[in-house]
Structure 1
Amino acid sequence: MRDFAIAPIILEVTKLENQPTSIPVYTVEANILTLSPAHYVQNATIHYNPGGGWQEIPLMQINDTLYTGDIPQQPFGSIIRYYVSAEDERGLRRTFPANAETDSVFLCFGIYEPNTQTLDLDFEEGPGNVPVDSSDYGNRVQAIGNPTYSTNAAIGNYSIHLEGDSSYLEIDSPFMASPEFTVDFWFNLDSLEAFRRMISLGTSTGSSNYMVFLMPDSTLTAESSIENDPIGASGLRDELKLNTRINIGQWYHAIYQLSSDTVLLQLYDANDLLLDEKRLSIIGPATRLEGKFRIGLLYNHTGYFGGYVDEVKVYNYARDLTVGIEPEEKSGVPLRYELSQNYPNPFNAQTTIEYSLPVSGRVKITLYDILGRKVKTLFDEKKPAGPYKLRFDAG
């Protein structure tokens, strides 16, 4: 029988999802074999880089083809790139991905905390600066084309303007994708061109973790791939389509949230008053797809969004599907800022927090444990003047 010089075959390797900080090790399995029984796998290795350089861990053989190994625990915010290599006794070698060592194509995952904000762009850096993510993840933002700062802002001093021809913002980070999420942003359109993605994370039309865009009749909709739900096969764009028509030159506030059983799209006006919403029951969560987070353009697409974007926030949980906030039924505008003691206190699964604003402004309410450690941000939004109740359900 002729003996071909063929390196070991790596049939598949574990593609790790993002891992919470509580996980002590990250197990990688690989199926590796040789085509001829005359040869054997001499060594198999995990190569991984948590940000400070490449390290190696030998894979342990479990049976004829199965090999396994553990990448050790890494700190919050780490992005780990990895690949597997296998070599036989003749020195013939192969990697997975096949072009890992030639083209720097790797598998990748991040270390995250559940129930956290993964992106916070307020664009207050101003002209001459690249936008900065002020969330704890510190994602790197790339400005493609010629995005410009504008003083036409929904909140604060600046927004980002995209001319609708060749400009967009991009973040290549595993933390932007999540099976449950909240996407929250303000927008102001230069034109009413349909299917221009304001916010998106996906690989193509109909294959997205999330995206928000206009339909041909100038109404807002959103889309997510949900492989377990019959209506999710179409991405939900028809089911989530709102009735309110968007106007050019006006600021709007959009919030898109998806949990394991509910999806919610909301549209607010420039004063942050609710204009329209659509809520659906689903069999979730969303399909977590690899791709690049973009403002102004869908990955592998050619339709650019033209207009202004401000206060872009993303969370790795459905924020308002567990946290409810509503105006209190009191007359008049409060005379001063007030934050009342939550009740009941202490609480088990649910509690209510009351606060008052004498003028409109940004409200951020964060929950800490008894040791002063941050648990989650409950609310981070602009609200009109008035008294409010925030209801939090930890269950």
Structure 2
Amino acid sequence: MNSIKILILFLIISGVSFAQSEYPLVTIQDIQQVPDSLQGTDPHSPLDGDTIRVRGVILVSPVIDPDTNRRVIISAGERWVTYIQDSSGALWGGLNVLQEDISENGENTFFDLVRVGQIVTLTGRVFEFNTNTEIILITSPTPIPVEDINETSFTDRPAPIELELSDLFTSGGGYNFDAEKYEGMYVIFRDVITSDRASNGNFKINDGNGHSAFIYNQSRYFKTGSAGEIPGYEPPLDGSYLSYLQGIVTTRTDGYYIVPAYPGDVGPVITSPPIASSVRREPVLVGPNQDVTISANIVDLDGTVAEAKLFYSVNGGARDSLEMSSADSIYTAIIPGIPDSALVDFYIRSTDNQGNVAISPSDTVKSNYFYLVLNRQLTISDVQYSPFGSGFSAFHNYRVTLNGVVTADTAGSSYRTGAVANRIIIQDGEGPWSGIWLNALNNSSGTDVYDLKLGDNVTVGGLIAEDFNVTRIDSITEITVNSSNNPLPQSQILETGTIGSATNNSVIGEQWESMIVSFENLTISDVNADGPPSNFGEFSITDGSGNVRVELQDGNHFYHNAWDGVNNFPDTIGIEENATIDKLTGYLYFSFSFYKLVPRYNTDFEGYQGVVSVENAPGLPDKYQLSQNYPNPFNPSTTISYSIPKEGNVVLKIYNVLGQEIKTLINQFQSAGNYKISFDASFLTSGIYFYSIRSDNFTQVKKMVLVK
């Protein structure tokens, strides 16, 4: 199959002049390099949105073998993916490449035939996804084939760039944007320690000095189970010392991710220190003056455990240490009772007979184990509280019972995506940390979570778990509806820039997770936050402090950004760039590296105001005129057109049948011309309304009918 396709490609190239010449040939540096004045930030590519041709060395083949095993190597949904690098090895020389159409038509790019080490030229459109610069290959209307694929010259993968984990961080420990110059490039870290091992194959590497990087199992060679290519593959055990780890640098808002591509990219384990797992406390709920037993399973794979100590601190004070006693591999220590409310954090230090030392957790700044000493009933804020920046709470993987009021129900879940969103949320106050998500899909209580209604006061028992960095009550065994129609907590007013710039698990964002929050005095800064060609139903808003994302697909409202290609729902309001919103409310969610607002209902959009547009009619109007709105009757939005023959202040208002003012659409100075503006009536009930215009000495009123 491979040789036949190559022959076909050779014949096509020999006889046809392709469209490649329509697009400029640029370097990877032209796409990636940021001007010096912008370094220290993470701006989009200077060629973002452009269609270009670019040449580079293939770092990983899109499929394992075009003839015998067509499984993709790099996972990214139903797409073919590779990374390319400038053959010179110059910085800013790496790039992610994707092809979205892998149908028979898409195969006419012959992208699936490229092999690691081959130098090829690709034609695609530049775009940004999750702060990572990528190109999407052109497949429509006609696929543009890969150039130079018929050449027989190959090179080895470039030698990896030697880096230290500290290169990815600033001196203050923050995300070092200047390391963007390594994005998409092949790098190597030596003498690293593993941690945060996940069942799917992900883990972290650390240098022992507080610097770490995520190891992302995007390659099928490093996935576990049926998703993987290597039977029985498991990531290194936590605390293992690796001689090296090499891979491709990708970026996210929460740090740099390294993607090892092939077997051999994860170096051998030099030595294995003791491994501590199954760290538990007893009791789960700790009261004043109550001793707490900490237990852990500690083993050493290439020797014996010589010593284990527990180090603990009360309310951030000096640490005390306790020797841990053992019974087989189970080690225990008892932390003495604390007389009053307190936060106790701790870690375990174990040493083997070779002197190798392991700390659990490996990051004792952000990830320490901790528990709360409480002299009152447990609340949602206790369960959500994660003060160190790990995202995990003191009750992670423990069963608890909580009480709260339902603030998001199925009535606030989208019917436009064809499914009810699993986003039932309860809240027990208005302060930080006081909201939590209920997992409706893992429930044996006998009460359907989807039957809960806004304002229900409920008691819920279940297991506290993390789902893609969002805390939820899982494995639910108890739901009791105590009362209904309770008032909802007031939303918390936040700044868009504060939440939009918050990194994953940072306290500044995490404290508002699953809570009802609002942003005020907003402008829509981007109708499609992910930029073409992708559209995942998210747009960006700003109150002047910076952008934050708004996710539309999981709410039950009229607002739409044409995520389905065209707005196929006639009763929706297509949002507009530069439109304004007085106040936007919803619950705060986290996904794909961003905190984002999820509005539930039409009433969450307060004062949406479309852009006043000037119609390009020939000449200036010779008289004042207020036209009949269209459509009329309407639901939920309509357009009002008007003309003014000379400049002046224009006031356009909406009234109900009692003559009460409903909304001011316009109150501003305008030049002579023809204008139109969209009116969103989603917050109103069906009925007759009036709109009036006043400018200079001209006044006119017209009637319109809202039918829902």
TM-score, normalised with respect to structure 2? 0.24
Point out the structure with the larger helix share: 2
Point out the structure with the larger strand share: 1
Which structure has the larger Rg?
A: 2
Q: Greater relative contact order (Cα 8 A, min sep 6): structure 1 or 2?
A: 1
